[in-house]
Each structure stands twice: as structure tokens, then as C-alpha cells.
Amino acid sequence: MEKAKISVIQLFSLMFIFEMGTAVVTSYGINAKKDVWLAILLGMFVGIAFFFVYYFLFRQYPNLPLTGHTKKIFGKYLGWIIGLLYVLYFLYNAADNIRSFGDLLVSSILPQTPLLAIIILFVLTISYVLYLGIEVVGRTAEVFIVILILFGITGNFLVLVSGDIDLDKVQPFLENGWTLILTTAFLETSNFPFNQLIVFMTLLPYLNRPRLVKKVWLSALISGGLILSWTASLNIAVLGVEEVKKSTFPLLLTVGKINLLEFVQRVDVIVVFTLLITVFFKASIFFYGALIGIVDLFKLKNHQQIILPIAFIIIFLSMTMASSYSEHTEEGIYFTRYIIVYFHVVIPLLMLLVTLIRNRFKKKGRLKSNIT
């Protein structure tokens, strides 16, 4: 583990920006149609429930990264394999977020720029920041969360006063019943992005006040969930369900409709910069989680010596995971519904069960020894 410390504010900033990620810009949870806001809130509550699973595991071994937890709980060999699976999962997510950002730039403001060039520059920038250490990442997040909030306030204000909002587009409530809402909440919105916060188990050992983990995690999770729910409703109120569903980046269209007195126009650059900030930190955290996992599993001296090799792996994954953005989206939906549930739900619940059983046997053993 790197010898570093991050503050409570820095951890909150990282978690909040991480939650925004690509979810704030894409058609997140739109399978629930007009009730997408409710599906996101329900997904947030599922995320809160699983936070307590992650928090319990963290309390067992507060000084170990996630891969250290898997080895302690499942044993040296099985735990090592499961830890490696988490590393691969983090790498895939880092590449997935970077590819989404590259696609947005190519489709919106840089149509003549090769996707590979954008991805290489982005990954090398992340690599440089990670080389400087997690403290630098945390201090940078403190600054950029302020910029992100200012972008959000500005964008929302301009949309609200532009006159493009039609509340009839978000009505009626529960038009399609509970089935779509619950399916979307449990299979999609809970896993992405709320349960993805499990990657922060690689960062929690760096927190300078570990007793505040619960407050920080829950504060970031709830505030992020409320903003994502509001943003999804705003997109539908401006564009309508069908246009949001067809759109690659609906928030870009929503903000692009702003036209005040034929003077305030083309402020969709706010969305591009928002995605730049959120994806930068989200990809950085997944990248760092993978680095720390590799260092722990392979007993390396530090993460700096493997940054460039892993960076090239992420570049390769970003370019080869899909031939187009539509294919990338379809693969992402499949991955969210059927693959990451193992990393967010199944394995953590097994870790919880094994830990509880082991603790119970230890307690019985101590009682017997005290009696004798």
C-alpha cells in the first residue's frame, strides 16, 4: 500500500464525482420510461443496503485493500483468484468509461479527431496523476467538485428559465406499473453506479479518519442518487421519453436546446466538461483500484512501476471492446445486468456469510477456552 492519507472531504469529493461518471450524461435507467427517477431512487436504496455489507467487511480488515479481504476470507489460493477477478473487473470499467468519453468527444466537438488519439492522451494524463499518488488525486477532486457543482447550477438554471420544460412529458406516475421500475432498479440502476462504489474498498485504508467512513459513504451515495434522479427527470421533461431513449447523450441535447434571447446559446460545452471531469476521476479510481490489487496480489514494491503497462492494457481494451458506440452500449447493458452482479452482490454476500460463520466459531472457541 502507498504511504498516503486522504481527508474526509477528499473521499466525499471522489465518491460524489465517481457516482456522476457517465450516468449523468447518458440515458441512464431509461428502461423505466417516465418513472426513471423512481427506478434511480430505488437503485440508490439497494446501494445503501449493500453499503452496509461492504462496511462490515471493511471493519474486519480496515488496513487491507479489497484483494486483501478476499485472501483473508476465502484463503490464500481461492482468495487470490477472486482478487484477480476484481482487478480485471476494475480494468474493464476504467476502459469502459474512457471509451464513453472518447465517443462523446468524437460525436460532439471533435468529429475529425481519431478516437485512438483522444484515448491515448486521456489515459496518459490519468497515468501521470496516479503516478503522483492518491493524495494528489484527492486534492484535485476537492477543487474539481466545486467546478462540477458550479456547472450543475448554471446548466440547471439555464434549462429552467429557457421555457423548454414540459411537465406533461413526465406524467402520469406509474404509467407502466411497477414491473419495469423494479426490474430497472435491481438489475441496472443499483449496480451502476451505486454498487460500483465497492472499488473504494481499495481507498478506505488511506482515510485519515476511518471512523467517519459510514457518514462519508452514505452522504455521497444519497446526494449523488438525488442528483442523478433529478437529471433523468429533467431530460424527459425537455426531450420526452422516446427522444431520451434514442439519444446517445440526452443531457447534451437538453442543454443544447437552451436559447435565451438569441444570445445565450451553445452552452452544451458544459456537458462535455462535466463528463471530462467525472470520467477522469471515475476512470482514475478504477485504474488505481486495479493497480493496488495487482501490487497486493503479486507482492510488488509499489504501483508506480506498473502504471505504464496497465495504461497500455486499458488503451487496448478501450479500442477493442466495441466497434461502435451502439455496440458499446449494448455490451454495457448486458455487462450491467448479468456480469457485475457477481462482483457487487454475490461475492460480497459470500464474503459476509463466511466472515459471520468464522466469527461465530471463533467466539465459541473463546468461550470454551474461558470455561476450561
Q: pLDDT (tens digit, 9 = 90+) per residue, 254-264?
A: 988 887 766 66
* Domains defined for the chain, CATH in brackets: 8-371 (1.20.1740.10)
pLDDT band at 322 (very low <50, low <70, confident <90, very high): confident
- Say if residue 194's pLDDT is above 90: yes
Q: Is 264 helix (H, G, I), strand (E, B) or coil?
A: strand
Q: What is the mean pLDDT of residues 201-222?
A: 94
- Say if residue 122's pLDDT is above 80: yes
- Is residue 148 within 8 A of residue 264, CB to CB? The reply is no
For residue 221, how many other CB atoms are within 10 A of its CB? Answer: 22
CA distance 310 to 124: 11
Q: What is the mean pLDDT of residues 89-95?
A: 95
Tell me the sheet residues that pair with 264: 260
Q: Is 6 helix (H, G, I), strand (E, B) or coil?
A: strand
Residue 278 grid coordinates: 467525472
CA distance 209 to 207: 5
- Say if residue 369's pLDDT is above 70: no
| pLDDT given at position 27 | 84
- Is residue 218 within 8 A of residue 51, CB to CB? The reply is yes
CA distance 311 to 364: 48
- Say if residue 308's pLDDT is above 70: yes
- Percent pLDDT > 70 in the chain is 96
CA distance 71 to 66: 9
- DSSP-assigned letters across all residues of 158-184: HHHHHT---GGGG-STTTT-HHHHHHH
- Is residue 33 within 8 A of residue 180, CB to CB? The reply is yes
Give per-residue pLDDT as tens, 156-188. Answer: 999 988 888 988 898 888 888 899 999 999 988
| pLDDT given at position 335 | 78
CA distance 215 to 195: 17
Rank 43-47, 105-109, 183-187, 326-330 by mean pLDDT and report only the highest: 43-47
Q: What is the mean pLDDT of residues 279-308?
A: 94
pLDDT band at 362 (very low <50, low <70, confident <90, very high): confident
Q: Kindly report the CA angle at 285 between 204 and 214, in degrees rounded to 5?
A: 30
- Say if residue 338's pLDDT is above 90: no
240 exposure class (CB count in 10 Å sphere: 0-12, 13-18, 19+): middle
| pLDDT given at position 368 | 66
| pLDDT given at position 330 | 76
